[in-house]
Amino acid sequence: MLVVLLGIVGCDKQETDLDLPQLCSCDFYSCASIEDFYKTIPSINEYLRSLPENWSAERKLQALVSELNAMPRIDAELGAVWTDRDCLIPCLPGTYGRIAILLDDNGLTRKLWLNIFGEDVNSLRVTSLSYIKPREVRVGLHHLGGNTTTNDVFDFINLFDRCVVRMWRLGAGRGYLSVMPADRVNYILNILNVKPYLSSVRVHHFGGYIDVCVDMKNMHNRRYQADWLDFMRRYSFFEGNTHQAWFIVDFQVPDGKEEEWIERFNSYEFVLWAARNYGFRGIEEIGY
């Protein structure tokens, strides 16, 4: 009997003393913020890969949560673990998990979610991050029953003393169109690529038109507004299907005042909706 008991104790001790991996805290000291947390993903994924294969997904994720909570300025909690059989809509076969993380970001608490997935043949891994962007409000703009133009959006932006982080045109309407010949596409592209307020430029030719789609930044700057309108006039660009087009504008607002600005923006008839701006990073797009 004594020998059996010693054997049981020995087994317990062996599992207790198991040389489990640990997250390296040095990877987290400078990355415990909303904008930089994605840099920790290689360490997190390596940690998940190195856990015992016979552990359940929930046990592995709970171990990860414990490791994260040992890091400075991080408060983590396991939100849920489920499989494709639990999904209400078709999804990839495998196991899913979600971990909520509160980060101390320059004295303010931010929430970030780690979205985790693993197939039977692959280890659990972080596949994306999502979070509420601080100090940003996203506004959708469209004249109900009427035409919606870039100039209307500029007039709306000029009502407020607020930085515009990003602005773009979308919806069923086409982009900015010109009837100039197809061999002018590269000429137009060269002009647009040097404009400091364009963060993304896409130019192509179709159906007899040159079509320009752009993402704009810092368009609270009235010189930038005037320059864009001048470009349209100079090269005979017009806005296609203005009755079907709408715009998205990301405004920067004071920290902690996001809800106040959402209510203020929503009071305008031109505004379809205003809401907190969500950030999202797919791991593939950042190279991990």
Residues 162 and 250 in one domain: yes
- Among 79, 94, 123, identify where a domain stops: 123
The answer to whether residue 285 scores a pLDDT higher than 60 is no
Q: How far apart are CA 70 and CA 76, in angstroms?
A: 9
CATH number at 57 reads 3.30.1300
To which H or E segment does residue 267 belong? none
Number of domains in the chain: 2
The CA-based diameter of the chain, rounded to the nearest angstrom, is 96
The answer to whether residue 133 scores a pLDDT higher than 60 is yes
> pLDDT tens, 62-115?
999 999 999 888 899 999 999 999 987 778 899 999 999 998 777 778 889 999
Domain membership flag for residue 17? no
Residues 6+ apart with CB under 8 A from 200: 214, 215
- Residue (of 107, 124, 100, 114) closest to 50 by Cα position: 124
Q: Indicate yes or no: pTM above 0.85.
A: no
The proportion of the chain whose per-residue pLDDT surpasses 70, expressed as a percent, equals: 90
Domain membership flag for residue 107? yes
In the DSSP assignment, the letter for residue 68 is: H
Domain coverage including residue 229: 136-280
Domain membership flag for residue 286? no
Contact status, residue 139 vs residue 270, Cβ threshold 8 Å? no
> pLDDT tens, 245-268?
899 999 999 988 999 999 999 999
pLDDT at 198 (0 to 100): 97
Average pLDDT over residues 218-227: 98
* Cβ density class 145-169: b for 16+ within 10 Å, e for less: eeebbbebbbebbeeeebbbbbbbb
The answer to whether residue 171 scores a pLDDT higher than 80 is no
Contact status, residue 5 vs residue 252, Cβ threshold 8 Å? no
Residues 156 and 221 in one domain: yes
Copy the structure tokens of residue 33: 């913020």
Residues 227 and 163 in one domain: yes
Average pLDDT over residues 120-135: 86
